[in-house]
């Protein structure tokens, strides 16, 4: 059995959905599980619904935009307005509005997960019905029945034993199964999400539990490149990468593969392929056991909108293990992801990601114990397998706030 994953860019419009059909017809439709993300920028749009709902209670305009977007896609895909997909899509929007009308929780993370999951439910229903209308037998599977998690909303942790049991129960191996990325459910059957861009991870979870032959992530790029083409000029395709190297690249922020995706695949040595849905003749990138990076060139990664926090003790005492432990307990409390650490005897600096918007609470608590300075809106640049020329080129025209070098990696925190 093989697992495919299509991201939002691959199904952003009717032509994209038709191209998914083309990919499946070319590669075969039996014994496949297909994970599909929300269409286009739907998750972003649903985040606006959550914001409007919690800020003002008036979410009608932001929700109407999403309705119209999906309605236009299904009008282009289905000839008859009597097709069941129209009723199915309407039913999902009615479910969503019922939740918003009756919910009493003001907890952002909980509300977020109950709302944004509809992007995936809509996209998979539309794609599944379209494939069926073209003569391909499909099974639509609600991933929430399979991916069981704890209740850490927006960053749920997988209960592997229960998930394995549920996937074994629900997935029919001989068919083409369509399911959602990014979403799961907790012990109380409330919806949960696996973290932003977590659909790759969903593919890895299903592949692990199904002992799949391979996972293929279909992207709008030729494969894994040595640099993001939106940031760096003339990137080079990496034809082969080891699991270890791919995990390093993903951890440092390479956007092609979600960081958690590779761990379950590596444990069972399931190969991962990253290919272009725009050019099916290209083989893309293979991530397998034992393969080093080919070609061996520097790899550039950038994470934008980071925060550089520098701490020093108020009484000039050393920042040792006890103080560092205290600092990291606060990072954990406020869900702050640490991407870089540098410390000396009386100072401690970290570059962090504030995706849960808890920075102000963190800073206020740190100020009770430490002298705190911080810079928002900085970029964290990483070069794997660096050389002097690569560093020199990257540092050009930037204000360097922090730099750290190890055997294989250099990291630079900078402002433009």
Q: Does 3.40.50.300 match the CATH number of domain 2-219?
A: no
The DSSP secondary-structure symbol of 12 reads S
Q: Which superfamily does 299-415 belong to?
A: VC0802-like (3.30.2130.10)
Alpha-carbon torsion (247, 249, 251, 255), positive or negative: negative
Q: Which two tokens stand for residue 114?
A: 């109950």
Nearest one of 141, 164, 142, 154 to 192, comparing CA atoms: 154
pLDDT digits (tens, 9 = 90+) for 233-279: 899 999 999 998 898 888 888 877 887 899 999 999 999 999 999 99
Q: Please tell me the distance from the alpha carbon of residue 52 to that of residue 66, in angstroms, as a whole number.
A: 14
At 291 the pLDDT is 61
Q: Which two tokens stand for residue 350?
A: 């970290």
Are 2-219 and 299-415 equal in CATH topology? Answer: no
Question: ∠240-237-204 over CA atoms, to 5°?
Answer: 55
Which residue numbers in the chain have pLDDT < 70?
291
At 251 the pLDDT is 85
Bridge partners, 242 (sequence order): 288
Q: Tell me the three state secondary structure of residue 40.
A: coil
At 254 the pLDDT is 81
Q: Please tell me the distance from the alpha carbon of residue 351 to that of residue 67, in angstroms, as a whole number.
A: 39
At 116 the pLDDT is 98
411 and 381 Cβ atoms separated by less than 8 Å: yes
Write down the domain spans for the chain: 2-219, 299-415
Nearest one of 125, 117, 120 to 88, comparing CA atoms: 125
Q: Using alpha carbons, list the distances in angstroms from residue 372 to 126, 327, 335, 388.
A: 50, 12, 19, 33
155 and 195 Cβ atoms separated by less than 8 Å: yes
At 230 the pLDDT is 85
């Amino acid at each position: 059995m093989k697992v495919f994953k299509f991201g939002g860019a691959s199904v952003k419009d009717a032509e994209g959905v038709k191209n998914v059909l083309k990919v499946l017809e070319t590669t075969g439709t039996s014994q496949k599980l297909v994970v599909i993300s929300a269409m286009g920028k739907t998750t972003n749009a649903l985040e606006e619904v959550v914001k409007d709902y919690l800020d003002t209670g008036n979410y009608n305009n932001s929700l109407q935009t999403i309705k119209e977007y999906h309605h236009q896609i299904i009008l282009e895909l289905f000839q008859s307005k009597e097709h069941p997909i129209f009723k199915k899509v309407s039913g999902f929007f009615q479910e969503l509005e019922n939740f918003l009308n009756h919910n009493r929780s003001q907890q952002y993370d909980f509300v977020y997960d109950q709302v944004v999951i509809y992007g995936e439910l809509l996209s998979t229903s539309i794609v599944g019905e379209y494939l069926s209308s073209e003569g391909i037998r499909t099974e639509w599977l609600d991933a929430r029945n399979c991916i069981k998690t704890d209740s850490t909303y927006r960053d749920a942790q997988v209960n592997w034993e229960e998930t394995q049991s549920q996937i074994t129960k629900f997935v029919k191996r001989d068919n083409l199964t369509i399911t959602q990325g990014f979403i799961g459910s907790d012990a109380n059957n409330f919806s949960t999400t696996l973290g932003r861009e977590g659909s790759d991870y969903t593919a890895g979870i299903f592949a692990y539990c199904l002992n799949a032959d391979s996972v293929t992530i279909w992207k709008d790029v030729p494969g894994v490149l040595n640099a993001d083409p939106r940031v760096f000029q003339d990137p080079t395709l990496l034809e082969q990468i080891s699991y270890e190297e791919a995990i390093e690249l993903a951890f440092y922020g390479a956007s092609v593969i979600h960081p958690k995706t590779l761990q379950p695949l590596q444990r069972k040595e399931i190969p991962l392929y990253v290919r272009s849905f725009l050019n099916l003749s290209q083989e893309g990138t293979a991530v397998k056991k034992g393969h080093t990076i080919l070609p061996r060139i520097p790899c550039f990664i950038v994470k934008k909108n980071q925060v550089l926090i520098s701490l020093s003790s108020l009484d000039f005492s050393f920042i040792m293990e006890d103080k560092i432990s205290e600092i990291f307990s606060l990072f954990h409390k406020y869900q702050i992801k640490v991407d870089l650490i540098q410390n000396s005897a009386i100072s401690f600096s970290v570059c962090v990601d504030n995706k849960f918007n808890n920075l102000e609470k963190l800073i206020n608590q740190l100020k009770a114990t430490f002298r705190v300075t911080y810079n928002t809106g900085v970029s964290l640049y990483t070069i794997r397998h660096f050389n002097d020329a690569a560093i020199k080129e990257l540092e050009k025209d930037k204000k360097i706030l922090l730099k750290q070098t190890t055997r294989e990696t250099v990291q630079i925190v900078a402002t433009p």
